[in-house]
């Protein structure tokens, strides 16, 4: 499915994948091996960090955690973990993956994973060390695994929205402008000087303010679009966004 910078609901995910992540999970069940592998790679790219973090905080070693994360996504796409659940009415993808993950870990997969990374099974790159620092932080603040899962999910969602926004600007031939404006969607937004940006870009300060406003508005559109991809049709993305952002304001 081609993407279009004028379409805020575009996922930027490539040709095979449907518009929503729920549709991706469901459609992958009926897909040929190659397309199923593409779905696995895309889902793992988007969601492996919260899964890895949850598994790791259950007391598994980094090596065990990486293997279990691989196996979880493999069995999710294979359909084994979706038995008895019929469609996108499942609700929030975030909540669903967490529930299915707990069920996966409660089963006896440790002893059954004798052919992991072999026998033709697809292997998706997982950068475990990039998450290890968060595990220490979570432990030092007594964050339970489910809360840590949701926080990591939120961080990856924000990064996905940033990626979509970057692709919009790249398609428009404005990569340099994206790099200049990207700090305005960071927590340090108040430190960004419109006057300095105007001088660097050869624009008036008023024009920069308008451009930054549009940039941040488009970022929010990308964020809401990314949220919709993980929700059932009747769920409010604004409510989900409020919940995810609240995870970073609580003591």
Higher local confidence (pLDDT), 153 or 39: 153
Has residue 2 been placed in a domain?
Answer: no
111 band by pLDDT with thresholds 50, 70 and 90: low
Answer whether residue 138 is part of any domain.
yes
Range scoring the smallest mean pLDDT among 29-33, 107-111, 136-140, 193-197: 136-140
Q: Does residue 136 sit within a domain? A: yes
Asked if residue 211 is part of any domain, the answer here is yes
pTM recorded for the entire structure: 0.69
* Domain-embedded: residue 48: yes
Q: Is 136 helix (H, G, I), strand (E, B) or coil?
A: helix
| pLDDT score of 23 more than 80 | no
Higher-confidence residue: 97 or 18?
Answer: 97
Between CA 123 and CA 131, with CA 129 as vertex, the angle to 5 degrees is: 95
User: Is 11 part of any domain?
Assistant: no
The domain in which residue 240 lies consists of 21-246
Is 58 part of any domain? Answer: yes
Tell me how many domains the chain contains.
1
The answer to whether the CB of 237 falls within 8 A of the CB of 224 is yes
Residue bearing the bigger pLDDT, 34 or 199: 199
Token digits for 190? Answer: 């108040």
Q: Is residue 5 part of a domain?
A: no
């Amino acid at each position: 499915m081609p993407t279009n910078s004028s379409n805020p609901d575009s996922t930027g995910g490539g040709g095979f994948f449907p518009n929503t992540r729920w549709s991706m999970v469901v459609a992958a069940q009926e897909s040929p091996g190659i397309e199923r592998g593409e779905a696995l790679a895309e889902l793992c790219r988007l969601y492996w960090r919260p899964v890895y973090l949850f598994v790791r905080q259950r007391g598994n070693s980094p090596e065990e955690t990486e293997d279990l994360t691989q196996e979880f996504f493999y069995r999710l796409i294979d359909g084994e973990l979706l038995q008895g659940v019929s469609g996108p009415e499942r609700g929030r993808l975030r909540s669903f993956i967490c529930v299915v993950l707990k069920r996966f870990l409660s089963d006896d997969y440790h002893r059954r994973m004798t052919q992991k990374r072999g026998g033709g099974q697809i292997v998706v790159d997982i950068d475990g060390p990039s998450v290890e620092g968060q595990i220490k932080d979570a432990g030092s603040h007594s964050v339970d695994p489910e809360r840590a899962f949701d926080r990591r999910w939120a961080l990856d969602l924000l990064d996905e929205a940033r990626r979509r926004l970057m692709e919009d600007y790249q398609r428009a031939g404005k990569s340099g402008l994206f790099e200049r404006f990207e700090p305005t969607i960071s927590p340090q937004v108040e430190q960004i000087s419109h006057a300095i940006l105007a001088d660097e870009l050869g624009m008036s300060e008023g024009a920069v303010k308008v451009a930054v406003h549009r940039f941040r508005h488009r970022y929010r559109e990308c964020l809401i679009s990314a949220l919709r991809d993980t929700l059932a049709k009747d769920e409010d993305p604004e409510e989900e966004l409020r919940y995810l952002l609240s995870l970073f304001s609580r003591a």
